[in-house]
Structure formats: C-alpha cells, structure tokens
Structure 1
C-alpha cells in the first residue's frame, strides 16, 4: 500500500483519466480524485505539475507523473509487479506495449477525436477521425473474433487503455453495431468487479446506438 496519499488529477469525462482510475480501483489503491477542468489546467500551479497542461497527472509522494499509459506502467511496476496487468516476459510485455501505442495513436485520433468534435466542439477533421476509427474497429473486430482480451488471455492495462474511447465511440457519431466481437470485449471489461462507468457526455450520441 502507498505510504502517502495518491492524487489523480483529471475530469470525470476524460477517457485518459478513466483508464488510470480503473487501474487504481483494480489494484485496490486508495486515492483522491482531484478535478482538473480546462481553467485549472491553464493555471500556473497545474502547469508546474504538467507543463503541457494535460490530464491525467498522478502525484504519489514526491513523484509527479503525467501521461496515462506511463502512469499505468508505474502503478503496476510499483505496487503490483507480480500481477498479470503487465506481463513481465518480453513477448507479453511487447503485446501490451503494442496496444498502448494503438491507444495513443488510432484510438486517440479516431474515436476520441470524433467524440471531442461532437461533444466538446474541438476544431478538427471529423471525416478523418471517422476514417481512422473505421480502420481501427475493423482491425479490433478481427483481432477479438477468437480471443477475449487484447494482449493476453486475461485483462491487462492494454484493455484499460483502449476501453473508454472505443466504448464511447457512439458519442462521436461512430456506430459499434457492425462490430459484435468488439462489443463483447467491452462487455467483458464492464463486468470486471472494479469497473466504474464514465458519466454520459453533455450532448446525446448522434446515433441510436450504444456499446452494449
């Protein structure tokens, strides 16, 4: 258990913060969630924590760490090094790293950006985001057709990293109806005992569709 209070800076609607919160809950680590909306992230005090002004940020004693995937790696290696959340063997770790890269790449630039445009008014190319999402979801559908989780036979931080923005793709006008294997994978993550949902976004989904 941590000797000092762990603080997670984020917002309830952030998929990046959500993945870290899920892992904290999975590892049964006590923590305090500190809201960091846009006006907070622009403040000098927050910029001392992360000069890029991005969430999430984790404080654990004297350590301040940004980037959701880096935070998850730290938490597993620091507090649960023998767990299956991040395999210790070279091949297993490489499989997880591949999906962490996809989470920071295709998942971010596809369904996440489409959601940001639709729900929060981000000035970006929605058609491009939807094309990336379509390629990603087709790839995930094939990958998950004969397996339960992304990187191993059990859930890993790869699943937590990819879950939120795929699950909330309909909030960006991207239907999950054509991807039954993806929807089954989402349901498996949602059935984990520590799971907590992200609140609905301010605007309704563009589609009569959800991830269930």
Structure 2
C-alpha cells in the first residue's frame, strides 16, 4: 500500500483522521487521502498498522500510525518555523499535556458521546456526556484567559483537541455554556488553510 509521496489513510467521519488531514493542509503539504472502511482488517492495511486503527500516514518509506504521532512527526519534519511543536521544555510539556487530553478526556467524553449517538455501542451515554461536561468545563476555565491551549499561538495541541470538541453537539453535548471554548474553535477554524471537521446529521433521541 505504500508509495512515494505522502498518503493518509483515514475516514471522513473520524476526528482522529481529521486532525491529521487538517495539519497536512495547514502545512501546505500535497498528499493523497485514502478513505478506508472495510480495509482495516486486510493484510495490506495490517502491514501498516497491526492494530487495525486509523489514521495512518505514509511518507515515502516512513509509516506513522496514530493521529497524535502523525502531528508530532509532521511538525518535526516539515515545520521549519518551530511554531507547531515548540522545543522549549515548558511549552513542549504543555503541548504534550493537551495531546494526552485529546487521547484521554476528550476521547472518552465528547468523542465517545458522538460515537454512541451516531453508531451506538455498549458504553454508557450518561457517563460519556458527564465526562464531556467535565473536560469542557476545564477547557472553558483554561481558555477564559488565553487564546490557545498550550502557547501564545496555535500549536498541534489545538489541532489535536479541535475536532471532537467542535462536533460535541453530535453527541448531544451542547457548547452553548462554553463561550470561551466556542471562541477558541472559531480561532482554530480561522487558521490559514484549515479545513473544518465535516458535520454529521444527528440522530434524535427516541
């Protein structure tokens, strides 16, 4: 499945894939996007990521699974400004903290509530929405006094956290109580070449 140039394997409904594609666009990197659904258990895809998970970035001979790892890789390899993943220890630590928030609190809060709304599953919707409320309240307080999550400018932390927060209403998690979060989302969406997370029709509760 590998070839020269950059290829991103993802799904358009995935916030994890979105963050990788959005950052490729921000950096102005030409790439091929491959929409994957049924291929995740194929031998050719498992050769790229034995865990069978999206997204996966292929850059020539380099294969990078995991959306946050892709952000780190792209920033290290292609961001000559050093803006997106700063190297000074305090800022680097703050960026890493928010990457962990994206992989943890946001995944198990607004992301899970969205998954349960759109596709169902055995997990508790009440627990997911409660987790979403906790992390959104935390982000609201954090963003009341700053424009960006980890630095005085946008970093990969903002890209990592954006998609599932922006689409929290698709999990019946309202953003109305969080004006600072909504202003932050608008700032992210105003970044040059940024592509917003596609909206998905929301199934209404029975």
Alignment of 1:120-199 (within 5 A): 120-199=119-198
Once residues 63 and 128 of structure 1 are traced to their aligned partners in structure 2, the CA distance between those partners, rounded to angstroms, is 38
Once residues 54 and 85 of structure 2 are traced to their aligned partners in structure 1, the CA distance between those partners, rounded to angstroms, is 22
- Of 78-87 and 94-103, more deviation after overlay is shown by 78-87
How many residues align structurally? Answer: 202
Q: Are 2:7 and 1:25 aligned?
A: no
Aligned-residue offset at 1:128 = 0.9
Once residues 122 and 197 of structure 1 are traced to their aligned partners in structure 2, the CA distance between those partners, rounded to angstroms, is 26
Q: Are 2:202 and 1:204 aligned?
A: yes
- The aligned counterpart of 1:10 is 10
- The aligned counterpart of 1:210 is none
Aligned-residue offset at 1:78 = 1.0
Determine if contact 1:111/1:165 at 8 Å carries over to the other structure: yes
Determine if contact 2:7/2:57 at 8 Å carries over to the other structure: yes
Once residues 98 and 196 of structure 2 are traced to their aligned partners in structure 1, the CA distance between those partners, rounded to angstroms, is 21
Structure 1 segments unaligned to the other structure (5+ residues): 208-212
Aligned-residue offset at 1:131 = 1.0
Q: Partner of 1:193: helix, strand, or coil?
A: coil
C-alpha offsets along residues 148-192 of structure 1, whole Å, 9 cap, x if unaligned?
010011100000000000000000010001000000000111111
TM-score, normalization: structure 2?
Answer: 0.94
Q: Cα RMSD between the aligned structures?
A: 1.3
